[in-house]
Amino acid sequence: MPAEIVRNKFIELFKEEPLLVRSPGRVNLIGEHTDYNMGFVLPAAIDKAIYFAISPRSDGVCKLFAVDMNDSYEFSVSELKKSGKQWPEYLIGVLDQLKKLGKNIEGFNCVFGGDIPLGAGLSSSAALEAGLAFSLNHLFNLGIDKLSLVKLAQKSENEFVGVNCGIMDQYINIFGAAKKVLKIDCRSLEYEYHPFTNDDLRIVLCNTMVTHSLASSEYNTRRAQCEAGVKILQQKYPSIKSLRDASMQALDESKADMDAVTYKRCKYVIEENERVTAACADLEKNDFVSFGCRMYQSHNGLSREYEVSCKELDFLVEQTENMDSVLGSRMMGGGFGGCTINLVKNDFVGEFKNRIQSSYKEKFGKDPLVYICKIEEGTHIIR
Ligand code: ADP
Ligand code: MG
């Protein structure tokens, strides 16, 4: 149990009983590349997490120990600077944001570690940031509300780590709930829960084990293409501020004014936003067959219209198409690598894993890691 390992290490190092906090990873069921178009996403917190064991100090010193790295780092709250290593930045960034909010921390001891795979797209980074922000808020009675915790965790990654991430990962980390998905409106930041209650199904992730260097430049290109599409749409409909506001009818009226690439990028985003809302209606009816179909449609759009997939992701999705016990499959995350997310009937999970692993190995000569997930609650205190 990672929680016990973390707690024991803390007691060994600091000889006292810590506050224990669990901070989960996440999946996104549907709604990809919709966040920066001010649309909808549908994430859920999962049963893989980073555990924090933490206690206050009063001498202005912060002592960190990363169990999974077997590495420590120490710094002073009065002097927040880059560590020169990777993992401490996610945590120092949180202190940096607290300081900017005028919240002063007197120092702390912290041991952390868990079972979220690193860099696989399950957002271990947000689990670090939001988990520490939550822990410190509790430990020092900072009185920061949940949405402000989310925003400061996101800003830690933006400003200190230097990754221009959206708000979804930190949002679901703090607001996640067991057996529920969270529909987030990326413009208003309003949210609603929808039930995800099917004990016969598992969420299974297949890791392509590839990351393409293309990802960040193509990401910027997609953002620019969406903005270009909005400019053209505004000529007929000035009230369209982002693709979130556009309908397929409006897009088709402007089709003659835009090039074919811009058109298909916009088409994907408009349809994906509609799919998120429709997928929530499926969940309210407990209709996982329809929900799964929308996942396949999402993948099709991402692959053919938005063109952010790759041969490995497409292969993993295609492999599931003739498996009756797989209800849905699509690439998850920014694209060009990372994981696919699959809805798989419980009693087929073992066979699914074997078949996917052997066909992928045969095709690409790589072993894809497979993660089986359940939806769990967001960051909370264990004790
Ligand atoms: P993702 O968020 O998809 O998992 P990122 O690249 O955004 O991937 O974040 C991964 C980084 O977060 C790791 O390289 C590491 O620096 C840090 N990290 C994540 N989990 C841990 C952990 N358990 N222990 C130490 N550092 C971690
Ligand atoms: Mg991350």
Domains and CATH numbers, the chain: 2-197+377-381 (3.30.230.10)
Torsion of CA 195, 196, 197, 199, to 10 degrees: -170
Whether residue 146 is predicted with pLDDT greater than 90 in this model: the reply is: yes
pLDDT of res. 110: 98
Whether residue 310 is predicted with pLDDT greater than 80 in this model: the reply is: yes
Ligand 1 pocket residue status of 86, Cβ below 6 Å: yes
Segment 277-289 mean pLDDT: 98
- How open is the CA angle 4-153-372, to the nearest 5 degrees? 50
Please report, rounded to a whole number, the percentage of residues in the chain having pLDDT higher than 90.
Answer: 96
Alpha carbon of 115 to ligand 2 centroid (Å) = 15
pLDDT of res. 227: 97
- C-alpha 93/C-alpha 42 separation (Å) is 27
Residues 368-380 pLDDT 10s:
999 999 999 999 9
User: Ligand 1, atom 10: nearest CA belongs to which residue?
Assistant: 119
Q: Which atom number of ligand 1 is nearest to the Cα of residue 114? A: 23
- C-alpha 163/C-alpha 154 separation (Å) is 9
**Residue in 21, 27, 123, 125 to alter for ligand 1 test, most ligand atoms within 8 A of Cβ:** 125
Ligand 1 pocket residue status of 88, Cβ below 6 Å: no
Alpha carbon of 25 to ligand 2 centroid (Å) = 10
Band (pLDDT 50/70/90 cuts) for residue 24 is very high
Ligand 1 pocket residue status of 110, Cβ below 6 Å: no
Q: Which atom number of ligand 1 is nearest to the Cα of residue 71? A: 25
Sequence-distant (6+) residues with CB within 8 A of 341 are 27, 28, 29, 203, 204, 205, 295, 329, 330, 331, 332
Give the C-alpha distances (Å, rounded to integers) separating 320 from 90, 356, 374.
36, 8, 20
Segment 226-244 mean pLDDT: 98
pLDDT of res. 165: 87
Which of 43-57, 148-162, 203-217, 296-310 has the least mean pLDDT?
203-217
Band (pLDDT 50/70/90 cuts) for residue 133 is very high
pLDDT of res. 311: 97
**Which ligand lies nearest to the CA atom of residue 116 in the structure?**
1
User: Ligand 1, atom 12: nearest CA belongs to which residue?
Assistant: 125
Alpha carbon of 317 to ligand 2 centroid (Å) = 23
- C-alpha 26/C-alpha 173 separation (Å) is 7
Length, in residues, of the chain: 383
Residues 168-219 pLDDT 10s:
999 999 999 999 999 999 999 999 999 999 899 999 999 999 987 778 889 9
Average pLDDT over the chain, rounded to an integer? 97
- C-alpha 34/C-alpha 266 separation (Å) is 11
Segment 272-279 mean pLDDT: 98
pTM summary value: 0.96
Ligand 1 pocket residue status of 123, Cβ below 6 Å: yes
169 part of the active site: yes
User: Ligand 1, atom 26: nearest CA belongs to which residue?
Assistant: 87
pLDDT of res. 348: 98
pLDDT of res. 77: 96
pLDDT of res. 299: 98
Whether residue 44 is predicted with pLDDT greater than 80 in this model: the reply is: yes
Exposed, middle or buried by CB within 10 Å (0-12, 13-18, 19+), for 350? Answer: exposed
Alpha carbon of 116 to ligand 1 centroid (Å) = 8
Whether residue 257 is predicted with pLDDT greater than 90 in this model: the reply is: yes
pLDDT of res. 164: 85
| Phi, psi at 150, each rounded to 5° | -60, -50
Structure-block tokens of residue 43: 């994430």
pLDDT of res. 198: 87
Ligand 1 pocket residue status of 109, Cβ below 6 Å: no
Residues 333-348 pLDDT 10s:
999 999 999 999 999 9
Contact between 74 and 62 under an 8 Å Cβ cutoff? The reply is yes
Residues 49-85 pLDDT 10s:
999 999 999 999 999 999 999 999 999 999 999 999 9
pLDDT of res. 181: 98
Sequence-distant (6+) residues with CB within 8 A of 13 are 65, 109, 111
Whether residue 20 is predicted with pLDDT greater than 90 in this model: the reply is: yes
